[in-house]
Amino acid sequence: MLYCQILIGILSNLTNKRILLAVTGSIAAYKSADLTRRLREAGAEVRVVMTQGGTEFITPMTLQAVSGHPVYTTLMDVEAEAGMGHIELARWADLLLIAPASADSLARMVQGRGDDLLGAICLACEAPIAVAPAMNQAMWADAATQANIATLQQRDVHLFGPAEGEQACGEVGSGRMLEPLELVTACSGLFATGSLAGKKVLITAGPTREALDPMRFISNRSSGRMGYAMAAACVEAGAEVVLISGPVCLSAPERVTRVDVESAAEMLVATESQLNGCDIFIATAAVADYRPIEVAEQKLKKQASTLTLSLEPTTDILATIAEQAPATFMVGFAAETENIAHYARGKLEKKSLDMIAANQIGREQDGSPIGFESEQNALNVYWQGGEKALPVMPKSRLARELVELIAARINTKI
Ligand code: CTP
């Protein structure tokens, strides 16, 4: 029974988490295939990088087969860098797990070396990093290794193990890598925050569609990804989550109650009906500001050479809910193309919000989209008397950071 509960906890924490597993030169690398398989069984997506030393102990082919993805081994490989280079891999990861971590790989991390793939990833990685040391007991006990571990821990690198026992070299002592299942549990623990435990969170997401006739509508480019990532992050933080979603091509995160709507009017009704007992309302939806005054019952036929549409404003859902539920912690989003701080703070005041997360819609320097239609985003978060910038990162990680900001501020609401 207890085992089942632990297993369910592990599964929920690791579901859809992106774990970048780095395999370095240690005999314990033979366990990496099993570790990869068990992480995937727990719901994580796993990609593998290997140092030259790692490939001496287990083949990239094996880890490619069990991870279901190509294995990355070199820094200067033109083809690999064109696909997923070291920066993309570092950005992709929710967790960089170095297992086994050899004595040499720990020393290289301490030095901040960037002359191989793993070194460069460690430097570029903003996600948590965990090391699972595996080496001979004398190497582990050596003053240099102990000093390196102390330095890494000071830099917030998580230490998993090592365990004590009989070693591959025949000696007995501390230095064995933890078993794969123990490592899965340790990874899971890093994602369990519980910061919103017992809270009910209501989230709007995606675009709305405002009908012109039975076939046509006015809408916008919102993909819903940020709202869905917020829903997943709130569940992960222990909240009960209801997601009111406009039409998107995403499936609901696990353990989220999803209510599908189309128009702004439907979104308002659905939101009001879920408001009871709601502690936090997060409005990520890109709600249409206007809708056609008249919706034609039949398909509009092509007649004149120009067509003028008459539109009327929709109800502002966030402002309405803020009025109806003054005790609920209100979080708005603002997508802007200019003067972000000015417009965002204006909306914070005008809609009586507790927090607003603003982002710039546009393109990164390399031309890739940021904000709408993108996997990545950056946010400037504002509240009364404070602000925090969250730099460009995958929306899943951004959502987790925003949830922690919300959790930290929620008790300031009287
Ligand atoms: N919002 C809402 N209902 C609307 C319009 C907006 O709930 N009818 C919410 C959005 O979900 C978002 C916030 O209000 O959390 C700000 O949305 P945004 O479109 O940026 O602001 P607007 O008030 O519509 O201002 P503008 O479009 O002029 O920038």
Q: Where are the domains of the chain?
A: 9-190, 200-412
Average pLDDT, integer, range 170-180: 90
Catalogue the E-assigned strands of 284-375.
290-292, 311-313, 329-336, 355-360, 362-363, 369-370
Q: Of 249-253, 261-265, 341-345, where does mean pLDDT reach its minimum?
A: 249-253
* Ligand 1 within 6 A of CB of 289: yes
Both tokens assigned to 158:
């998580």
- Provide the CATH number for the domain formed by 200-412 in this structure: 3.40.50.10300
Length of the chain as a residue count: 414
From ligand 1's centre to the CA of 222, what distance in Å? 13
Structural fold of domain 9-190: Rossmann fold (3.40.50)
Report how far residue 126's alpha carbon sits from residue 112's, in angstroms, rounded to the nearest whole number: 14
Tell me whether residue 61 is exposed, middle or buried, using C-beta atoms within 10 angstroms of its C-beta: 0 to 12, 13 to 18, 19 or more: exposed
- Supply the pTM of this predicted model: 0.66
- For residues 315-326, give the mean pLDDT: 97
Backbone φ, ψ for residue 2 (5° rounding): -60, -40
Locate 374 and state its tokens.
Answer: 């993108």
Residue 373 pLDDT: 62
CB contact set of 54 (below 8 Å; sequence gap of 6+)? 22, 23, 24, 25, 26, 29, 32
* Integer angstrom CA distances of residue 214 from 262, 289, 295: 13, 20, 8
* Gap from CA of 366 to ligand 1 centroid (Å): 29
Minimal CA–CA distance to 92: which of 69, 61, 114, 110?
69
Q: Is the peptide bond before 100 cis (omega within 30 degrees of 0)?
A: yes
**Cβ proximity of 348 and 356 under 8 Å:** yes
- Mark whether 169 is an active-site residue: yes
* Distance, CA of 13 to CA of 236 (rounded, Å): 6
User: 314 CB less than 6 Å from ligand 1?
Assistant: yes
Of 4, 122, 125, 169, catalytic: 169
Percent of the chain beyond pLDDT 70?
A: 92
Asked if the domains 9-190 and 200-412 are classified in one and the same CATH topology, the answer is yes
pLDDT at 371 over 60: no
pLDDT band at 5 (very low <50, low <70, confident <90, very high): very low
Give per-residue pLDDT as tens, 328-340. Answer: 999 999 988 889 9
Report the range of poorest mean pLDDT among 73-87, 106-120, 131-145: 73-87
